[in-house]
A and B are shown apart, each in its own frame.
Chain A
Amino acid sequence: MGNIVVSPHDKEGQHHMMATPTSNNPNGGSAATAKNKSEITVLLLGAGESGKSTLFKQVQFFHGVGITHDQERIELIEIVRLNVLENAKNLVAATQHLNIPIEQPENRETAKLIINSLNTNDLEDPSWSKRLYSLWKDAGIQKAYENREKFQLYDSTEYLFENLDRICSDKYVPTVVDVIRTRTKTIGITDMKFDVGDGKQLRLVDVGGQRNERRKWIHFFNTVDAVVFLTSLSEFDLNLYEDNGYWRVKESLRVFNEVVNNALFYKVPFVLLFNKRDLFEKKIATKSFSKYFSGFNEAEEKNPVACIEYMTKLFLNEITEHPLDTVSVKTLSAIDHDNSKQVFEEVKQFIMTQQHRE
């Protein structure tokens, strides 16, 4: 069971000491379903930065809740700008780390300010848009960006820098796309409910993916009706956020193994989503895929379909207990609105038909 065992959460003494679920309650999932047939609980699981919250936000968006309203997005200004600053900071720090000089002297000045004193409030000044953009276009920063697998950087970096003129304005209101592309580390466990017809409600549960957050997942394992496991295709050259020096794919496989082979999920429909397909296709065009997977045929490494097939096999090989006919594998690009809508519909259909079969 690895480290998903116990997670006591409260200082005041309510220790949710759950035994390892293998022993006493193998049918916990279906038992819960029998109790409350009208609600279907779907868990979004996966390691850190696999796109769980992005998908969650997309689902919120096409169900007309949360970020759909301007008023709620205004509150996220700070978070979007924080993303810009963190990206800029990480890039500047990376140039120092990788010994890449920033070429233009005025950009060096900007970099110094970013490291030392800049805060999100300053970004209200439109002049920062030009300065940051010029920094972004600096040859040194671009070189660091090309080597981004060597440090931690958000996927949205390029998007945010290309939209600086909007973001650095005092009239800025984040668009839905801005919010979806903003990276926020999910803390804790959060959920949303919406109707799916037949008088049924779907309860989608979003969780954090870092190691300590995973210890909290167990609280939902008993009541789950379906699991959607996300993993990022484009992480094959990256290391962990919480533990720099640990390969992300290895972590994803480990987490997948723990989840899919959990006794509580034997009878539960399981969806494996390969996310960030768009990024992945861009990435394999310039980077070597086979370098990271020794068993992969090098001649095929520019073919995304072959690569995804290989990854699929890699993940499905981890399954030892779960019946394979209730596992569905799909690819997704969660930042793409239409794609995620379509994929989520398919996932929903799959879950519903599996429910019916029972």
Chain B
Amino acid sequence: MKKQETNQTDLKTPKSIADQDPTNSTSQSSLRPSITTSNEISITDDTLSSIDVDGSDDEVISLDVLSERGRFLNLLKIIIRYKVIEISYIIFWGIVTYIALSARIFLSPADTLIEPIFNSSWKSLETYCNYTARVDNNLYTLIISAILFLIVPIFLTVDCFVSLIKYFRLRRENKEKGIKTENFLVYHFYETDPFVYRSESLLRFIFDVIALIIYLVLSSTINTDGTVGGTISSLVITILLHFFGGTFSNPGVTIYKTYHNFIRMKKKSKNALMPSQQIQNLQELMSSPVSSFSIDYVISRRVEREFFHEFLKKEFSVENLLFAEDLQKLRNINERHARSKVSKVKEMVKLYLSDNSSVFEVNIPSKIIHAELKDFRELTQLMNQHGIQLNSIPKSIKEKSSTRYFPQIDSTIEDQVRKLIENLSKSDVFSTLNIEIYKNLMDSFYRFKHSRKWIEFVKTNKVQI
């Protein structure tokens, strides 16, 4: 509960966290411990649920609000809200159709009994309705279905256009700030649509079209006697509509994508190298003290990072920046991807952490390096002893599974190996190295902030703003 509170106060007083310090190593795993993400998920209304419930189009829900405990509840709330929109939309159209048809039916007197084309469930009502009215009813049903059927692509196209306009605006803004923008498809179907209603509607439409084609083909070719082919086509339609396309909503895709998104969100907020929200622009950066946050701000932006990189090259200390970035990359590898984790660590040890032989040896006391590499050294030793190649480490290791990944060695040793790999795969691996490298960067960063090139860059940007 406490964590949540602090997170929320941070929102109100962004300065309080801006001067965070990297010394508190034991309690905080990373240098940017409670860093808040600027990666906001804006949830736009779905095409179909165009009924605007709370009047806001692009409501922004920050991840900070979704803090530890409240996160699941909040997620549930969002799902429910959007499901409510969807369900009310469905009910609305259902009621309209029923009222229209019922009115039609009850207003017409009963007539001869003829099988209806659509709506066989309405058989019980046949006595109330004459033949022509029933044909009319079927016609109306068809028209309504056609309208509904066509509304989807129309809405999809309109939505796509709106989104395109917004996307270009965003890209222009990002270009000024020097941030890379994802491509349009990702933006449209993923970033601005975390519950994937857009892709869902598109899929539904495609499946509907496929189902329709199959129905037409089947009914025109096989269905001569009107029994077997009819049954098959009905079956096909049922399967396609309900399992793949869905008539009104497809819970499968939604649930899967929601889960996936949610996992991604959580991961991102934990690890990713992200600009701190505390520093909004260059002017603020210039007046803020040298901290890990201001460094993060600079290296998370393309243009600014390039300046810093150039400066470090001139001072002969690029290795610190490269190491910090590589460490971040290591942490961003999925925890289950054992082989890439281990090979990344191996690469980093070779490049930065072996004294005398590393090309980019970083300035960190050997005692700290030694303590941090204990697990890795043990692992390489075990691997050498038992002839395990790097390639024979499985690409991904599932937790708690009893599968033997290294059948050639003793199971107790395998357990040891797996434990060591697990330790290396933790998302906060090498936390003291991270702190040390940021300390090193702080020294260079202080001078960087006063370098002529950088000050000129800030000045010219000021003119633009």
Which residues of A come within 8 Å of B, CB atoms? 3, 7-11, 66, 72, 74-79, 81-82, 85-86, 89, 115-121, 152, 184-190, 208, 210-213, 215-216, 219, 241-244
Contact = CB atoms under 8 A, between A and B. Distances in A.
Contacts of B23: 82, 85-86, 89, 118-120
B75 interface: no
A8 B316 CA distance: 9
B80 interface: no
Given A212-B355, A242-B366, A188 B316 contact: yes
Nearest to B449: A75
Interface residues of B, number: 43
Given A82-B23, A152-B365, 6 more contacts: A74-B289, A75-B289, A82-B21, A189-B317, A210-B363, A212-B361
B356 A75 contact: no
Among A3, A76, A186, A187, residue most surrounded by chain B Cβ atoms (within 10 Å): A187
Contacts of A66: 450
B363 A77 contact: no
Contact of B443 (A75, A120, A185): A185
Contacts, number: 115
20 contacts: A3-B356, A9-B316, A9-B318, A11-B318, A76-B289, A78-B21, A79-B446, A116-B26, A117-B26, A117-B27, A118-B24, A119-B21, A119-B23, A120-B20, A121-B19, A185-B439, A188-B315, A189-B316, A208-B363, A211-B356
Nearest to B313: A10
* Chain A to chain B: the 3 pairs with minimum beta-carbon distance, closest first: A188-B317, A120-B21, A188-B315
B320 interface: yes
A270 B417 CA distance: 55
Interface in B1-52: 16, 19-24, 26-27
Contact of A186 (B24, B366, B443): B443
B339 to A, nearest CB: 23
A303 to B, nearest CB: 35
Interface string B302-322: 000000000011011111101
B457 to A, nearest CB: 18
A244 B365 contact: yes
Contacts of B449: 75
A89 B439 CA distance: 15
A189 B355 CA distance: 20
B349 interface: no
Given A11-B322, A75-B290, A120 B19 contact: yes
A190 B315 CA distance: 6
Contacts of A211: 355-356, 361
Given A85-B23, A120-B19, A219 B355 contact: no
Given A72-B450, A81-B21, A121 B361 contact: no
B24 A116 contact: yes
B440 interface: yes
Interface of B: 16, 19-24, 26-27, 289-291, 312-313, 315-320, 322, 355-356, 358-367, 439-444, 446-447, 449-450
A85 B289 CA distance: 17
B289 A188 contact: no
B20 A184 contact: no
Nearest to B322: A11
A180 B380 CA distance: 44
Contact of B363 (A121, A185, A243): A185
A171 to B, nearest CB: 14
Nearest to A122: B21
Contacts of B312: 188
A78 B23 CA distance: 11
A7 B23 CA distance: 31
Contacts of B26: 115-117
B27 to A, nearest CB: 5
A128 to B, nearest CB: 13
